Structure 1
Amino acid sequence: MISGAERGKGGDALAKHLLKPENDSVEVLTPRGLGSPDLIGQVRELVALSLGGRTDRPVYHVHVDPDPHLAIADNDGARARWWALFEREFGLGSQPYCGAVHVKHARRHEHRVYSLVRPSGAVADTSWEYARRERLGRIVEFEFGMPRPTPSKHSRAIVKALREQGRDDVAAWMEASGTTTAARPVARLTPQERLIEERTGIPLDDLRAAALAAWRESDDGAGFLAALRARGLDLREGRSGPVVVDGTGTAHLATRLVGAAARRADGSRIPAAAVRERLAGLTLQTHGETDGRQAGRDPLRDPGRAAAPGGPGGHAGARGDAGGEVPHRDAGGFDADRGRHGGRGVGDALDRLVARPASARLRARMRMLPPGRNAELAAAFAAVRARTWIAVPGHTDVWGLPLVEPHRRV
């Protein structure tokens, strides 16, 4: 049983992803705790309900596939059992959600989008969520008659947790299958790497192979940089160290790229310390200062896709500018120029807050109050509004807004 999950801010793109027509069929689920008639509206409603939470990633997108090899006959029953275990494990039994069931290549799997923010403003705990979801999957596989459990790198930890929870039957089944002693499986791509590959159109395996070839034909940092540039790549300084920049301007952490390529090529990973040591003497430009391409190159004629012969040949990368640049991504997948730049600074945030209507500011404050205080605040607010206020000449607050005081009748 395979499951996956990702936390985020939600948005229309998520809803459109669940409705994408490349599936053989899409069946929209009946939502819980939501009133919007369509999936896009339901996701928007989830986001709105989560605004009072103490997190910037309040939306939890989870999908489950009972068995890619169709060894579980009762697909619907297995999914229902897994979701029941999942909601109990993460305390989401009363949280609103929406979603869809997809059928693709004869496989029936289900997506759900949950709000992690509780009515009190607290956020559901998703720590160690990957291993926890894997444990639930092993339970369902055992209960629905799969002959062997799905391989997992967390097998030993899962067996230990199952025994602590009294599920010795599932633990014994896993041990008898040999899954606890087998070599740990290594996925070709992480979920984040898969999204990057889909966005750029550049196969990560091709990029890894090019970076490893450049590494092996060089003896120092300068040689590695020259070999990368000969393959249409570049080397920049990122947040966590040197990054390899592909033809679309997307950055990939050099230590991870070279290490993973070596492990796949001959089973021996090049240590990150060895990569950092070779590149220590280089003075690299910070990724994001320019467009990420080599100086003097014509991006329209040579977009730098030599590392990916199967990738798109046009000069406009996915979500990029006219030169295929994606300047808003760094090796970690976050904004490359975030914080106090590009309209994201403290002053800009305060301007946006001040510009909001008074009713919106009031609703935001009321969402943060404990239960029972909203009625008191509304009554107090009505009393204050009934009074007449005048500006105090020559006095402003820290944001430059005029101070006011109640009008005193003579």
Structure 2
Amino acid sequence: MQEPRPGREAAMISGAMRGRGEGDALAKHLVKPENDEVAVIVPRGLGSPDLKGQIRELVAMSLGGRTAEPIYHCHCNPEDAIADNAGARRRWWELFEREFGLGQQPYCGAEHFKHDRRHEHRVYGLVRPDGRVIDLRHDFARREKISRIVEFEHGAPAVPSKHARLIEATLRREGRTDVADWLVASGTLDAERPVAALSPQERLIQERTGVRLDDLRTATLAAWRASDDGASFLAALRARGLDLREGRSGAVVVDGTGTAHLATRLVGAAARREDGTRIPAAAVKERLAGLTLQTHGDGNGRQAGPDHRGAGGAAQAPGGAHQCPGSGRDARGEVALGGAGGAHADGGRSDGSAHERALDRLAARPGAARLRARLRLMPRDRNEALADRIDAIRHRQPIAMPGGPLDIWGIPYQSNARWTA
């Protein structure tokens, strides 16, 4: 959960992240015991009795949509500057659903009581019943606009925002000149743009691992300044309980929990926050050029270079793989590639068993997922023809097809009677 930064008169804080919803980690996050109180809110459009089942329902309901990230986890947190906490949250969610067209979408969530105030998390399904996906473009700026409206309506001070001028122009275009004039009078349009200490994803990683990103940045920068080449940088990191490995997007610093953080980002951010200097990514890459590193997330003992086991303070198995939370994930929280063949390579086996297992996994996928894969593999002209048919059905236009009508997936109905609008 985002906490207000010192000196910032935060009034209405929000955060959001889009994801796949695979596994039950999100449900566990929403009911974690570190809050003083946790209350599961009444869901909409879902029948499961608990959060885990409700999120699984949201994912299952999204199988007809063309998206790999079908759920949207969002939270709103009224600060002490707003006296009516419940009223502010209620108004924020009302504007939020109107802004993104989520008024008819299923959701679930939880209400937390922490640090003497309440905040609320919701998880929305993004796929509409007709298969279309909710448009979340520029969601950060759009949520900031909603927060400014709620702050204005509840008598809270305006908060400087990176998108202040865009928000003011949008408010005028939408007829909320009262809020736009309030923003201009507050002086926030000319204030220095604030820079968040952590991104929402970095904040979630920090909460999950318990490792403060500021401490990690400081240690990485100290190792950088105590070294003059890749080998000495690696040694300096190890002396501080860290490790350096090859990740999906370049070299990553691995903390004591096995979680990877992009090295260029850590060094650059640490220098900028310490004394305002800028260490470009190119400088970090140049120093590490020629350094052979083990691939992060390698669970089969395969290596991209010399064995670097035993560094970083993380528990390791005999094969050198980290056996701890966050292992095998890069700075964005995604699974890193393992070796030349990737995390799912067959480890050099040539007996065909890996291919057979891959086919078994494909055959075990839900029917809708298999059909989507077939559509992607079809010739372009046939795929476009199917898309035209699907669009026609979605808009309820009568069409004639050989052999009878098709549903939105291109599958014939049981009845051969002609379908009409």
Give the TM-score band, short-chain normalised. Answer: 0.7 to 0.9
**Aligned equivalents of 1:58, 1:4: Cα separation in 2:** 17
Taking a change above 3 Å as real, the CA distance of residues 91 and 349 of structure 1, as seen in their structure-2 partners, is farther
**Aligned equivalents of 2:210, 2:96: Cα separation in 1:** 34
1:3 Cα deviation after fit: 0.7
Is 1:335 paired with 2:335? yes
Taking a change above 3 Å as real, the CA distance of residues 340 and 275 of structure 1, as seen in their structure-2 partners, is closer
Structure 2: gaps spanning 5 or more residues: 1-11, 347-353, 376-389, 395-404, 417-421
Counterpart AA for 1:330? D
Partner in structure 1 of residue 312 of structure 2: 304
1:133 Cα deviation after fit: 0.5
> TM-score normalized by structure 2?
0.75
Partner in structure 1 of residue 367 of structure 2: 361
The answer on whether the counterparts of 1:236 and 1:243 sit within 8 Å (CA) in structure 2 is yes
The answer on whether the counterparts of 1:316 and 1:325 sit within 8 Å (CA) in structure 2 is no
Partner in structure 2 of residue 186 of structure 1: 195
Secondary structure of the 1:15 match is: helix
Correspondent of 2:249 among 215, 234, 240 = 240
**Aligned equivalents of 1:156, 1:127: Cα separation in 2:** 18
1:329 Cα deviation after fit: 0.7
Greater alpha carbon shift after TM alignment, 204-213 vs 229-238 = 229-238
Partner in structure 2 of residue 117 of structure 1: 127
1:36 Cα deviation after fit: 2.4
1:73 Cα deviation after fit: 2.0
Correspondent of 1:39 among 18, 38, 51 = 51
Is 1:201 paired with 2:210? yes
The answer on whether the counterparts of 1:327 and 1:336 sit within 8 Å (CA) in structure 2 is no
Is 1:97 paired with 2:107? yes
The answer on whether the counterparts of 1:78 and 1:140 sit within 8 Å (CA) in structure 2 is yes
Counterpart AA for 1:4? G
Taking a change above 3 Å as real, the CA distance of residues 32 and 155 of structure 1, as seen in their structure-2 partners, is same
Secondary structure of the 1:184 match is: coil
The answer on whether the counterparts of 1:238 and 1:287 sit within 8 Å (CA) in structure 2 is yes
Secondary structure of the 1:84 match is: helix
Is 1:6 paired with 2:6? no
**Aligned equivalents of 1:291, 1:232: Cα separation in 2:** 23
Is 1:162 paired with 2:171? yes
Structure 1: gaps spanning 5 or more residues: 306-313, 382-410
**Count of residue pairs brought into register by the alignment:** 361
Residue deviations 1:354-381 (CA, integer Å, cap 9, x gap): 346xxx6389759x97568459845269
**Aligned equivalents of 2:228, 2:246: Cα separation in 1:** 20
**Aligned equivalents of 1:94, 1:83: Cα separation in 2:** 13
Dislocated runs of 4+, deviation >6 Å: 294-298, 343-346
The answer on whether the counterparts of 1:249 and 1:291 sit within 8 Å (CA) in structure 2 is no
Residue deviations 1:318-346 (CA, integer Å, cap 9, x gap): xx977548542123321113797538987
Counterpart AA for 2:344? G
**Aligned equivalents of 2:188, 2:168: Cα separation in 1:** 10
1:165 Cα deviation after fit: 2.3
Partner in structure 2 of residue 221 of structure 1: 230
**Aligned equivalents of 1:71, 1:337: Cα separation in 2:** 46
Taking a change above 3 Å as real, the CA distance of residues 355 and 167 of structure 1, as seen in their structure-2 partners, is closer
1:63 Cα deviation after fit: 0.8
The answer on whether the counterparts of 2:224 and 2:233 sit within 8 Å (CA) in structure 1 is yes
The answer on whether the counterparts of 1:52 and 1:364 sit within 8 Å (CA) in structure 2 is no
1:97 Cα deviation after fit: 1.1
1:1-400 equivalence runs, <5 A: 1-10=12-21, 11-67=23-79, 70-146=80-156, 148-289=157-298, 299=310, 304-305=312-313, 315=315, 324=324, 326-337=326-337, 341-342=343-344, 348-355=357-364, 361=367, 373=406, 377-379=412-414
Taking a change above 3 Å as real, the CA distance of residues 245 and 24 of structure 1, as seen in their structure-2 partners, is closer
The answer on whether the counterparts of 1:4 and 1:63 sit within 8 Å (CA) in structure 2 is yes
**Aligned equivalents of 2:323, 2:262: Cα separation in 1:** 22
Q: CA RMSD in A?
A: 3.4
1:291 Cα deviation after fit: 8.8
**Aligned equivalents of 2:368, 2:185: Cα separation in 1:** 60
Secondary structure of the 1:188 match is: coil
> TM-score normalized by structure 1?
0.77
Counterpart AA for 1:25? E
Greater alpha carbon shift after TM alignment, 272-281 vs 109-118 = 272-281
Taking a change above 3 Å as real, the CA distance of residues 333 and 285 of structure 1, as seen in their structure-2 partners, is same
Greater alpha carbon shift after TM alignment, 261-270 vs 137-146 = 261-270
Taking a change above 3 Å as real, the CA distance of residues 343 and 91 of structure 1, as seen in their structure-2 partners, is farther
Counterpart AA for 2:414? A
Mark the structure with the bigger radius of gyration. Answer: 1
**Aligned equivalents of 2:133, 2:203: Cα separation in 1:** 27
Taking a change above 3 Å as real, the CA distance of residues 283 and 13 of structure 1, as seen in their structure-2 partners, is closer
1:14 Cα deviation after fit: 2.0
**Aligned equivalents of 1:214, 1:94: Cα separation in 2:** 52
The answer on whether the counterparts of 1:291 and 1:325 sit within 8 Å (CA) in structure 2 is no
**Aligned equivalents of 1:129, 1:106: Cα separation in 2:** 29
1:281 Cα deviation after fit: 4.1
Taking a change above 3 Å as real, the CA distance of residues 340 and 346 of structure 1, as seen in their structure-2 partners, is farther
Counterpart AA for 1:5? A
Secondary structure of the 1:379 match is: coil
1:267 Cα deviation after fit: 2.1
